[in-house]
Structures are given as structure tokens and as C-alpha cells.
Structure 1
Amino acid sequence: MASEQQPVVVTCTAPVNIAVIKYWGKRDEELILPINSSLSVTLHQHQLKTTTTAAISKDFTKDRIWLNGREEDVGQPRIQACLREIRRLARKRKSDGDEDALPLCLSYKVHVASVNNFPTAAGLASSAAGFACLACALARVYGVEGDLSEVARRGSGSACRSLYGGFVEWQMGQRADGKDSIAQQVAPESHWPELRVLILVVSAEKKLMGSTAGMQTSVETSALLRFRAKALVPARMAEMARCIRERDFQAFGQLTMKDSNQFHATCLDTFPPISYLSDTSQRVIRLVHRFNAHHGCTKVAYSFDAGPNAVIFALDDTVPEFVAAVQHSFPPEPNGDKFLQGLPVEPALLSDELKAALGTDPTPGGIRYIIATQVGPGPQVLDDPGAHLLGPDGLPKLAS
């Protein structure tokens, strides 16, 4: 017979982050410790987020997890790593005699449901948002407080950067146990209000090679990756932090593009080589450089993670013209009413000079759609019970 005690239920949201100084490669596969530090921009959850509900109850007979409505294997090693770490921290808090620790039996099983409002595993940092959200929801439901970098990092390295809003540094750390490999905020989301982000979705398909396998191969075979981590990244981290503090878009944009290019160069230096960029990705790169050359300065900057989708940084007064340039170079398909998503953008009229600079080789349908967003806050807790993804029985609510 089921008990009358209701499950303890918590729902959180967490953001996507985009690294402008890239993380690629681990020095410890189990603890997820990186070979170099990294720095990212947190995107606004109004456009891109993961929502996760966690519930614990004495009536649950086993741990279970659902992703985008489909039950997944809860035994997946990285999910288990997060669960073990949260439960360890909860036990520690209880054993330390914390009177505010939840008076729950730590043997209670947990049910988790998570949904993304963006394509999963398509190079849009879905795992970062997902594991950051999982860490936050589990911490709340088990009464764990404090920094969750290690919990999120054990699920996905870059997830620790999604624990904060604004501009975030993931320090590689030096300790073998990884206790100093943590995320810290460089500047809050309110620091650079003019900064805008455009995600040009080239493909929503799952990547042919996931980041985990790609990183491991690169660490084993790429001399360029090792040189980059040791000789180049420390200075780039300091310079990027300066660009952000001083809101120096010219330098920010150039360094962002250079670091993206170098990351993909390490992928090509891997053996066998890895290529995450498509022909359309390369066309976007050419478009950005032609646009900047026309203006005689860096007005827009691209960054590509381990996938073909382009992330474009620009100041708000540049966005209308650049969106028009994208539409010119990649004419939308007939359902063009959904081409522009997210923040409202009214494309500008392009001058004949800029049209000529962009070239006369359009690629219809090359860009499926654009998500316009901005820098945003870190994880949020949703107090509205109606936001829970799990019903009173601990199972996913039926889609409406």
C-alpha cells in the first residue's frame, strides 16, 4: 500500500553556455578534470534552457529518469556519478549534525524528468544545461547546499559553467582530487547589456562523433592540443577576462573567433581527424569575415562548439543588419515565418555595397532558423507546482 506521505518535488531550470575560450580534453576521465581552463557566456533561459523535476519518495522502488518524455538508462555512468556525489554530500551534511538538513532517509529513490527547449546533442551544449539542471534539482530535493561545480562537472565538464549567469570561468585546478576545478563568475549577466547572441541552426541532427569520444582521441593524438593547453590558453583566459571587464567588443570578437578556429584546428590535428563543421558552417565563417571587412572593423564574431551550428556575437545595434545579411546569403525556405525565433529582430535593408561584398552565391535553406538571445542568469527554482514535470505518482505528466 502506498504511503500517505507526498513525494518531495523540486523543479529547476538551467541555461546553455557557449565557451569563448574552449574546453577540449580531460586529464582525468573519471573526475572530468580539464587539461585547460575555459571561459563561457551564459545564454538567456527565455530562449534556451533545460527544465528538470526531481522527486524523492519512500514509495519509489528504484531510481528512474526521463529525458524529453522518453525513459533513459539511469545506470548511465555520468548520471550515477552525479547521484552518488549528491547523496554523499547529503550524508555528510546529516552526519555533521546540520539541524537544517532534510529529515529524509537517504535510501529514498529518486525520479527525474528533464526537457530541453532546443535540439539535444546537436552541438548546442545540451549536456551542459542538462547536468547543471540535474545537479541543482538533486541538490534542492536532497537538501544539499554550497558549490555544485563538482556534481555538475561529473556529469558534463562544461555543465559547471552553467551553474552561473553572465560570464563564467571554469578553472582547471591543480589538485589530483579536482576540488579546485570549479566554476566562478567573471561578470554578471547585467554587466554587458548590449551584447547579443544569434544561434544559426545549421543542423538539429545528432553529431556523428560525440564530444566525449572526440576529446579522448584528441588528447591521445594531437600535439597541437597539448601545446594550446599549456602555452596559449592561460594568456587567452586573462585577455578574454579583460575584454569582458572593459566591454571591448573588437578584441572580444577577434579572440572568440581565433579560439574557435584553433579548437577546430586541434580536431583536424587529431588522428583520425575530426570535423564538426559542415560546408554551411564554412560559408557562415566567410560571411562573417566579409561583413566585418565591409565595415572595416569587427562587428560580429562566430564561435563553433563540437557541431555545425554557428554562435554569433554582436552588439544590439549590429543585429538587424547582420540578420539581413544571413537572409541574403541563406534565403529561408517557404516556412520563413519561423526563420527568426527568440528576441524580436527587424532585419535592416542591405546596401548595394554590402550585398556586393557578401557575394552572389546564396545557399537557400542552408540555415534552418536563427535563435536571437542575450546573456542571461544562472539556474532558477520554479515555485509553481504546475511547472513540475512529474505528477503526484512520480511519473511524467501526460503531454497536453
Structure 2
Amino acid sequence: MRVLIAPDGFGGTLTAPEAAGALRDGWLRAAPGDDLRTCPLSDGGPGFLETLRASLGGGLVAVTVRSPLGEPVPAALLLVEGADGARTAYVESSHAVGLPLVPPGRRDPTRTTSYGVGELIRAAVGTGARRVVVGLGGSATNDGGAGMLAALGVGAPDGVLTRGGGGLGGVTADDLVALADVRAGLRDVDLVAATDVDVPLLGLHGASAGFAPQKGATPEQAQELERALGHFAHAAVGALADVVRPDLLAGARTASPVTRLTAQPGAGAAGGLGFGLALLGARLVPGSALVADAVDLTRRIADVDLVVTGEGTFDWQSLHGKVVAAVAERALGVAVPTIVVAGQVTVGRRELAAAGITAAYAVAEGPGEVAAALADPAGTLARRAERVARTWSR
């Protein structure tokens, strides 16, 4: 039996290559005769550069940027030369704003900043890259990209834009006066935001309500962040004026510029970094699809009998632009079944069927098993894969 193992990372416990290796090892214990191929994936979050480099090659450039707390941290760019000589710079935003950069006791998305992402983009443009692709996901921030904009020259370097999402309710037109000029300065760069989820900036499934609690926000703080992001969005779009105003004579949508930018899929990714990049003229694309294209995933799936994918927690977010959904969509297109092995599974059978997933298996099915999985993530994942293989292998 030919099996493609194509997981994402497992939520800070295993990288995608480590997860793929554990799944492979466990499967082979039960089915040593199977032909197993591994293809670690990413959705734009942690592991984005590592996954792309394995397929595209290129060279890493070390840089130092600010963390979400304003402290210096190491980061990297991936530079890839195209056949036409044009250079693409890939940026992993989690190098600058990743949740592991903030100790649990200091996690507060009302204060953390995305300033370091702006420093990464500035360094990428400085290499002469004509295309800059920013992977979004796994952030500790919820500032709508305000800090990133400050690092690129919008507002004062230590002004209100750098102080986290909680202070954005006090943003004024003066703080954003340079936004149009910064956007114009990037017009010769093809700026792409590879988003890990397809959610909007605001609303029930937006950056604040959907994700801020995971970053340390209380329910009251999440509501505060929602209000602050809404104010910031109106002020920022207003600062761009005619640049983002719909052209009614050309048949453009009649929605307001604010609604068009805040509601687009991916605007809420990485605490609203998708929205901040959209303000700069970036195209928002699903990160999982961008990586899948880079590794030629559809061709790989078409050459096997079964696909095994997975991630740390398989929940509602997984069906909104994550790796699992991207794998299932491509496998469905070539009539290959997909199964999911995840740390925890909270998606029901109806949602599985709608996503084109045949079955899902949890490594940890109770509180005691969660503790065991965290203590030995690779071992417990391999043991679960061994049991799954007994069901699926011929």
C-alpha cells in the first residue's frame, strides 16, 4: 500500500518533519511492507521557511528583530532565485511574533506588538527581492499589524502603533499620516500574505473573538481588542482615502473600503496581520495552498492509495484554511481518501464528511492521555499511528 504522510506541526510539541517521522515510524511497525512517503507541510505559521526550503532550496539570511515584548530575537529570511533571475524573499512572521516568544505568565495581546514583522519585511525588501511572501500564523499579537506598520515608517517608532492592540482605540489621523506614502513605496514589490486561516478581522470568528483568548486575553480584554481594532481599521482605511475607495464606474463592489478590507478572508490571520498587510497592498492567499503548490502536493497525492495528515488540535479552525483542509481538498480531487491523526479531535462526523475527510483519530482522548502526549509527543503519536495502520493497511 502506498501512503503519503503530510502533516503540519503539532502545536509547539512537534515540528512538521518530526510529526511526519513519528507517524511514519508508528505506521511501519504495523505495516512494514507499505510504501511510505513523507511530505511535511505548513499553513504559513511555524515551520513555513523550513518546509519551503526543503522543496525550493534557496539560502537563509539571519536577521535580528523585536519580539512581541520588544526584546531582540534571532530570525531569518529565505531567499530564492527564480529561473528569470528575479528574487523572492520568504518571511515567517512567527519568527518575530510567535507565541513561544512570550512566556505564559507575560502573555497579553493588549500589549504585544508586531513591530518585528515590519523589521523582517524591511530586511526582505532590502535584499532587492521583487516578491516578498509573508507567512502568517501562530502569533502572540492582536494589533492588526499596527506595530508592523510602525516599523515600516508609519507613525513614531515608539508611538501608539507600537504599544499593542489594546491602545489602538486611541489612534488618530496624525498617527497614520504616512500610511499612503509607505504603501506607495512598496508598489514595485509583489507583496503576498500567506495566511494560516481564512477568517475576517472583526466579528465572532475574527482575530479578537476567535483567537485572542489563546494568546492570554480575558473575555473582557477580547471585547476591548475588538473595539480597538474596529477603530483602528476605520482610521487606517480613512488615511488611505482614494487609494482603496471602490470604483463604481468600473463595476466594483459597492461595500465600503473598510468592510472590503476587514471582511476579506485572511484579514484576521495572526492577530490581524493579514489586514495590516492588505493596507500595504498585499494579496492575501491561503498559506496552506501556497505551500502545497510549492511542494507539488497534488501530484504526490495522485501517486498513492491513502493520505495521512494531522496537526496538534483538529477543531473548527482546521477547516478554515489550515493544512488538514488543504490536503483533503486536493486528495478529494484525485479520489484518494484522507485520514487525520491529531493530538485532539473536536470536529464531528458531519464536518468531516463535508471536508472530504474519511476518518479522524485522536492521540489523546481524555485528560490523562493529554498529559501523556505532552510528556512524549513523538512516542504517543507513533503508537497511535501504529493502531491506525492496523485498520487501514492491507
- How high is the TM-score relative to the length of structure 2? 0.31
- How high is the TM-score relative to the length of structure 1? 0.30
Q: Is the helix fraction higher in 1 or 2?
A: 2
Structure ranking higher on relative contact order (CA contacts 8 Å, 6+ apart): 1
